[in-house]
Amino acid sequence: MSVVGFDVTDGVAVIVLNRPEARNAIDREMALGVANAIARVEMDHDIRVAVVTGAGDTFCAGMDLKAFLRGEAVKLQGTGLAGMTQAKLTKPFIAAVEGYALAGGFELALACDLVVASEDAKFGLSEVKRGLVANAGGLVRLPRQLPIKIASELVLTGDMFPASRLAAHGMVNRLVPAGEALSAAMEIARTIAANGPMAVSVSRRVLNESLGWPLDELFERQNELTMPVFKSADAREGAAAFAEKRAPVWRGE
């Protein structure tokens, strides 16, 4: 059985980290499998959204330390840990978290656009407890997604936080009963997949890139990316579908 599952339904890809016997820890084989799954998502125009989840009762325990000691490379050139944390993603990714999202597993969730977590899920950047550092996104993404004092506590103590605490600070989009994270993530994914793909892609890009833009250039840079959307076939289709009271048929152009 593959260590990374991949399935597509109604424009939504589900990527499953599938090493439950190792709490879905990332070894070389899994890293290559996730990288391949992401490449499939990016290349397939019919895939609009991707959901990342873990098999069994754990999302991901991070880098497999036994693989680390064996010298296995789980950070891939150009795309980072599991081929994901530094990948140039152009489509929305949603993390569906059950159980533990630790170290590199937490960093995979941080690389996603949205996070859905079960009420008993736990998150932590435990690298410092092993003499390591969270350089697969934890140190640079966490202070952009949480208040700096909360981010500092997570990074410097290496302790685990319950999903409810992260939700209180806006890092978890939805808290759901245990066992329902994937179904809740799929509900969000289907909503996104039903929207105009060009509009979603450009909106996502502006949301992420504008954080680093100078304030006096915000609207100029935004307009460079967004004005073509208003001239697109999809924009005309969206308006026509609304007027005709029917579902739009998107072309992605």
How many Cβ atoms from other residues are within 10 Å of residue 92's Cβ? 22
107 is catalytic: yes
Catalytic residue among 107, 153, 180, 237: 107
Are the CB atoms for 184 and 96 separated by under 8 Å? Answer: yes
CA torsion sign for 82, 84, 86, 88 is positive
253 is catalytic: no
Are the CB atoms for 181 and 96 separated by under 8 Å? Answer: yes
Are the CB atoms for 8 and 40 separated by under 8 Å? Answer: no
| Tokens representing residue 87 in the block | 């990948």
Are the CB atoms for 171 and 125 separated by under 8 Å? Answer: no
Catalytic residue among 72, 127, 180, 220: 127
Catalytic annotation, residues: 107, 127
